[in-house]
Amino acid sequence: MEEKPYEEIILIDKPDNMSSFGVVARVRRKLRDRFNKKVKVGHTGTLDPFATGLLIILAGRATKKSDEFLKKDKEYEATVYLGKTSTTGDIEGEITETSNIVPTEAEVKAACEKFVGEIEQTVPAYSAVKINGERAYKLARKGKEVEMPTRKVTVYALDILSYKYPELKIRTHVSSGTYIRTLGEDIGKALGTGAYLTALRRTKIADYDVKDALKLDDYML
């Protein structure tokens, strides 16, 4: 009887300070040791190094299903820090103090409500989008200013989990292609304070939940 080709969908809770590619490399190494041969491995949507949460890893023949996952809705929890901005929109960039305005809870709620529904986002300069054949973040690191494209995305829900200035914690359900860093920055612009993300966690991709994911260290055991 012919052996069925290997395929597996692996849910990993990505740690911070590690790239998505780094997670894939470790999973690939684990599978190579398990099968004593090279196994094709890929992920279905990048998380920034500072971010944590659900990363869907496809292994073996499952890699052929990657297109099925790329357009799925996602849920995130994020901490938006008001009063400062970052060159990258997150903790990895150069931070600048921009405002000492302290918005009220009502003002924060009103600002967040502006971003529910179909919105237009400018793709971050520090992103993997290609501009004239080169990754945008590589151009940004070289100090080259380029006009970044805009895209329409949908924010299905944007809930305030807590607010104590300068930290605003939110949960959001968004369409594929939505940049949460940009959403945080845009909330800061709407409030007149500036903002950047200090934490980001992906909790869901469609019906896949981070609660069902393995910590990377546990997977590697």
Task: Please give the C-alpha separations between residue 25 and each of 28, 43, 49, 207, in angstroms, as whole numbers.
Answer: 5, 10, 14, 25
Which candidate in 48, 67, 90, 218 is catalytic? Answer: 48
48 catalytic residue (yes or no): yes
For the chain, the residue count is 221
Task: Please give the C-alpha separations between residue 69 and each of 5, 40, 44, 164, in angstroms, as whole numbers.
Answer: 21, 17, 6, 36
Look-up: residue for tokens 């300070």?
Answer: 17
Sign of CA dihedral 210, 211, 215, 221: negative
How many CB atoms are located within 10 Å of the residue 7 CB? 14
Q: Quote the CA–CA distance of 77 and 57 in Å, as a whole number.
A: 21
**Residue 141 corresponds to which tokens in the numbers above?**
């690191």
**Residue 60 corresponds to which tokens in the numbers above?**
């073996």
Q: Strand 52-60 vs strand 195-205: parallel, antiparallel, or unpaired?
A: parallel
**Residues known to be catalytic:** 48
